[in-house]
Amino acid sequence: MSDEKRQNPSVAVIGAGMTGILMAIRLREAGIADIHILEKADRVGGTWRENTYPGVACDVPAHMYTYSFRANPWWSHRFAHGDEIQRYFEQVAEEQGIREMVRFNEAVEQCHYVDGKWRLKTSKGAERVVDFVVSATGILHHPAYPDIPGLDSFAGDLWHTARWNHDVDLRGKRVGIIGTGSTACQVIAEISGLDCELTVFQRTAQWVVSVPDKEYSEQEKARLSRKPSRLAALRRWYAFALRHTFSKAVTGSKLPHAYVSWLAKRNLRKSVRDPELRARLTPDYPVGCKRLIISSHFYEAMQRDNVHLETTAIERISEQGVVTADGRTHELDVLILATGFRPFDFMRPMDLRGRDGVTIDEAWKKKVQAYRSLCIPGFPNFFLMLGPNSPIGNYSVIAMSEVQTDYVLKLIDLWRRRELPTVEATEEAKQRYNDYLKAGMGKTVWVRGCQSWYLDADGDPAMWPYSWQQWVREHEQPVLDDFVRQPPAEEEPL
């Protein structure tokens, strides 16, 4: 490959959500012009386009849930609502000229590494051949449908929260919701105010911390808009507060853990008056073991007369509704599944094959793992953004993505300068990295007895078990020895 070509690699970015938009902006800033952004839907926005359930909002403060280079003085609330966040991403994509680069309604169906290049086939039948692929397909993308017998037999309306059916008016209906995770708590807080009878099927109680959702006045917004330094200070403050409370509490600091536990327990004690209901809403695991719920309305909603908490296990679903283990049938018109996502599915159902035709399923047969959550041995020049072990619970995923994006650009730069023949982590480096993740697990609260998508089937972490600062530090400089330095003979030499 000529020096000129090496300087201007072609890059396919799969997905135009938060990370895809960011990556396209950064690639362009790095002087890379040959960028193909492929998006299966007809709009940018990713998770915020897909999740439109009532009450959808971000429980990370809005001034921190923005790109660092594009603050937004106009957020209406401390916790921005989903449609406002969606508008933010649309605006940024528009302002930065990214929207016009996106190929909408074009899903990548095949992505094969052949003769040193990635060959993509899309749902429109188009073929693209590129040097690099960035999969910006998101973490929690595939809804998890519960394996409850009889689910298909329900005669009423049934949907998953990530596929909300806006055609059905819940007023006057008997509504059931399965799950009490972050999503369910937002939905319950919102729809409990409607004139409906709502039954909440709770398998495991959740710890909830109340942080009031302040609405910004027009004067405050105008002031923030005039004073970018204030806006930046606000962002820093929220980042500092989250890092030193929620993040540290789960990754091993006894002091923040005691503090956050106290907050959650006090919230439950003060908010729920009826001791019997309080007992049923009290979790039996340490605070932070599952994702902490941030809500100032969930407990209030659970005490409304039209809301009923059901804690008896679900046995099956019948035509009429939910049958619990005690033989009762809870008759329903609508059943909502707030049962979360399949966090290990990543870029599925794409047919992804690395070197020698090895499929991603084969590569991950033993375990879903990557080097630095990003590089999969055998898949050269392929980056899985926000891959395994990347999320930090209750922190801004945008901040994490920005760090990872800069790291990817450093790797591409090494390739451009011919310091790496391809960007491919070695199997040993991946193993070492995952041993290191496992070692970090011991101190976290996740090992103290609870089950959630924060852990995989072997009980190993699916999250980042260390601090935010460590995430930043470890992405500052790529370690060359962790990458394949000599390409296979049939691939182009340096």
Please give the residue ranges that form the binding site for ligand N01 (CB under 6 A): 57-60, 140, 146, 148, 178-184, 203-204, 291, 314, 338-341, 453
Closer residue to ligand N01 (CB): 80 or 133: 80
Enumerate long-range contacts of 3-10, CB under 8 Å, 24 or more apart.
Answer: 6/415, 6/416, 6/418, 7/31, 7/416, 8/32, 8/33, 8/34, 9/34, 9/130, 9/131, 9/132, 9/412, 9/415, 9/416, 10/34, 10/35, 10/36, 10/129, 10/130, 10/131, 10/132
Q: How far is the CB of 253 from ligand N01 (least distance, A)?
A: 21
- The CB-side HSE value for 6 (13 A sphere, CA atoms) comes to 16
Shortest Cβ 140–ligand N01 spacing (Å): 5
Contact call for residues 167 and 364 (beta carbons, < 8 A): no
Nearest distance, CB of residue 337 and ligand N01, angstroms: 8
- Token pair, residue 174, equals 């008997």
Q: Are 89 and 70 in contact (CB under 8 A)?
A: no
Residue with Cβ nearer ligand N01 (82 or 478): 82
CB of 340 to ligand N01, least distance (A): 2
What is the nearest approach in angstroms of ligand N01 to the Cβ of residue 54?
13
Query: In the chain, what is the greatest distance between 2 CA atoms, to the nearest angstrom?
Result: 74
180 vs 381, beta carbon nearer ligand N01? 180
Considering the complex, state which of residue 122 and residue 295 has its C-beta at the smaller distance from ligand N01: 295
Q: Which is nearer to ligand N01, 28 or 280 (CB)?
A: 280
Compute the distance between CA of residue 313 and CA of residue 179 in angstroms, rounded to an integer: 12
Q: What are the Cα distances from residue 429, in Å, to 89, 206, 219, 369, 422? A: 35, 37, 53, 11, 15
We find the least distance from the C-beta atom of residue 115 to ligand N01, in angstroms, to be 39
Query: What minimum distance in Å lies between the beta carbon of 60 and ligand N01?
Result: 6
Residue 7, Cβ neighbours under 10 Å: how many?
12
Task: Tell the residue number behind the tokens 């919230």, with chain if given.
Answer: 267
Tell me how far, at minimum, the Cβ of 59 lies from ligand N01, in Å: 4
Chain centroid to Cα 443, Å, comes to 23
E strands, 261-357, in order? 293-294, 307-310, 314-317, 321-324, 329-331, 334-337, 351-353
Query: 275 CB contacts (<8 Å, ≥6 apart)?
Result: none
Q: At what angle do helices 218-226 and 228-242 cross, to 10 degrees?
A: 100
| CA count, 13 A, side-chain hemisphere, 26 | 23
37 vs 334, beta carbon nearer ligand N01: 334
Distances (CA, A) of 143 to 127, 200, 462: 29, 19, 17
Cβ at position 246, least distance to ligand N01 in Å? 12
Min dist. Cβ of residue 278 to ligand N01 (A): 18
According to DSSP H, which parts of 142-181 are helical? none
